Amino acid sequence: MADLSSFPITSRWPAKNPDIIQLYSLPTPNGVKISIALEELSLPYEAHRIAFDANEQKSPEFLSLNPNGRIPAIIDPNGPGGKPIGLFESGAILIYLAEKTGKLIPADAARRYETLCWVMFQMGGVGPMFGQFGHFFKFAAEKVANNSYPVERYRDESKRLLGVLETRLEGRQWLMGDEYTIADIATYPWVEGARKFYGGGEVLEYKSFPNVLAWLERGLARPAARKGIEIPRKE
Ligand SMILES: N[C@@H](CCC(=O)N[C@@H](CS)C(=O)NCC(=O)O)C(=O)O
């Protein structure tokens, strides 16, 4: 049985089965990337729900795994060289899982790097811009009631990014063509989140991005996505 006692996070969220991947998360756009990927890869894992309302992501135990205090984070008891490894940042975790299994990433080197370009496009573009849009449009709407600039700025940038996706998806089923990859798993939870959690579908004019909408529905319809998008569930 793997010994995870060197990871202080396991003292607060104990592993029932320390031999399988431990996921610390919440069903947010960044969190579900990892549960969707784990489901898609059929990797056994144990999900621990990190309660934002209790600020658990900023607890010393959580910070010991991710000093940035944000979900998702994982421990893989069977990391490189068979040793346990802790990881944070959803993009890094997705790349790790893809490389560990040789799945959800093309084998061909050039296509592999192209996939990573799209993963980084999500990590540096879609996630942060959509997140800021959601912040000002929904959560801080009252604070910016007298200043339309923040919403306009992130709305326009989010729409621009949707336009980039729209062009990329012209004639392609997935971001990498016929191959479903971590680039898709990194991105469509955010496109869904902006619509579902922020209620931004109209303001962001989703209807004018038909390729994106069709790709989003294809992604959401996958059994692994339907399951992963709700993990970790509330007890
Ligand atoms: N770049 C990070 C972003 C993670 C992130 O922003 N997670 C959010 C949830 S989607 C979070 O933990 N927020 C809690 C907080 O900021 O305290 C990643 O992709 O893992």
Q: Is 71 in the pocket of ligand 1 (CB under 6 A)?
A: yes
Choose the residue to mutate in 26, 28, 30 for probing ligand 1, maximizing ligand atoms within 8 Å of C-beta.
30
Whole-angstrom distance, CA of residue 223 vs CA of residue 219? 9
CATH number, domain containing residue 48: 3.40.30.10
What spacing in Å lies between the alpha carbon of 70 and ligand 1's midpoint?
Answer: 4
Final residue before a domain boundary, out of 80, 103, 126: 103
Does residue 90 share a domain with residue 13? yes
pLDDT value of residue 234: 84
Q: Torsion-angle region of residue 55: left (phi > 0), alpha (psi -120 to 50) or beta?
A: left
Q: Which atom of ligand 1 is nearest to the CA of 50?
A: 12
Average pLDDT on 189-195 reads 97
List the beta bridge partners of residue 176: 179
CA distances from 112 to 60, 104, 119 (A): 36, 10, 11
CB distance 78 to 58 below 8 Å: no
Burial of 140 (0-12, 13-18, 19+ CB in 10 A): middle
Q: Residue 30 C-alpha to ligand 1 middle, in angstroms?
A: 6
Q: Domains in the chain: how many in total?
A: 2
Domain assignment of residue 80, given as a range: 9-103
- Does residue 235 register a pLDDT over 80? no
* Alpha carbon of residue 97 to chain centroid: 13
Mutate to test the pocket of ligand 1, among 71, 97, 126 (most ligand atoms within 8 A of CB): 71
The whole-angstrom separation of Cα 182 and Cα 158 is 21
Nearest CA to ligand 1 atom 17: 70
Same domain (yes/no): 219, 113: yes
Mean pLDDT of 200-221: 98
Contact 28 CB / ligand 1 (< 6 Å): yes
Tell whether 122 and 212 lie within a shared domain: yes
Which residue among 64, 79, 103 closes a domain? Answer: 103
pLDDT, tens only, 117-170: 999 999 999 999 999 999 999 999 999 999 999 999 999 999 999 999 999 999
What is the pLDDT, as a whole number, of residue 208? 98
